[in-house]
Amino acid sequence: MPRPYFPSPLESWVSQKFIDHGIIKPEDLVLKDIARVFGIEYSIWHGHPFAYRLSEDSAAYIVENDQAAEYEQREHFFHELGHILRHCGDQCDLSVPFRKMQEAEARQFALYAAIPYHMIDFNHNHSLESIMQEFHVTRILAYTRIDGMCQQIIVQQNGSFDEKRCE
């Protein structure tokens, strides 16, 4: 069955990056292994999650909160991975609009990395729960990802998005 829609450039970029590093199926989405293949130091502590990389050539770190639930840790990890792979430097040195743009991109990256396009079996009738279980994500992340794909399919099939059709 052909894929029902064309992925966005960021979505394609994330999938290709994962494929290039041997992250092919949902079972490959092991945080420590992903960190290792991208050369990132990954650790857990008691504070807020964060990522840091001074420049493209410097060491990269992702630190996760030890009190967060497993699925929340995964969301945080993929968000911070987006910062590491797509951004560098200290966000405190950035203008507010640029920092907001980076945060928005990292949120979108997290959706695409937690449930990568190339891992979705479009021949299978997925439910919200099956996506949550297969990809070990929260209900909100699974719903947001599925909703985004549905909206994109509607736009690509009809040429525009009509909110009233989705009510």
On average, the pLDDT of the chain sits at 86
User: What one-character-per-residue DSSP string does 147-166 give?
Assistant: HHHHHHHHHHHHSS--GGGG
Helices (H), 21-164: 31-37, 70-86, 96-114, 128-135, 139-158
pLDDT mean over 137-156:
90
Question: Tell me, which fold does domain 9-119 have in CATH?
Answer: Arc Repressor Mutant, subunit A (1.10.10)
- Split at pLDDT 50, 70, 90, the class of 99 is confident
pLDDT(90) > 80:
no
**Whole-number Å distance between alpha carbons of 61 and 59:** 7
Q: Which amino acid is at 64?
A: E
pLDDT(166) > 50:
no
What is each CA distance from 7 to 12, 14, 15, 50, in whole angstroms? 6, 10, 10, 28
In 3D, which of 113, 79, 102 has the Cα closest to residue 11? 113
**Whole-number Å distance between alpha carbons of 139 and 150:** 16
| Residue that wins the pLDDT comparison between 57 and 150 | 150
Q: Which residue has the tokens 């050369």?
A: 39
**Whole-number Å distance between alpha carbons of 54 and 156:** 39
**Whole-number Å distance between alpha carbons of 4 and 52:** 37
pTM, two decimals, is 0.84
Give, for 64, the enclosing helix (H) or strand (E): strand 60-65
pLDDT(147) > 60:
yes
pLDDT mean over 136-152:
93
**Tens digits of residue pLDDT in 61-87:** 999 998 999 999 999 999 999 999 987
Give, for 4, the enclosing helix (H) or strand (E): none
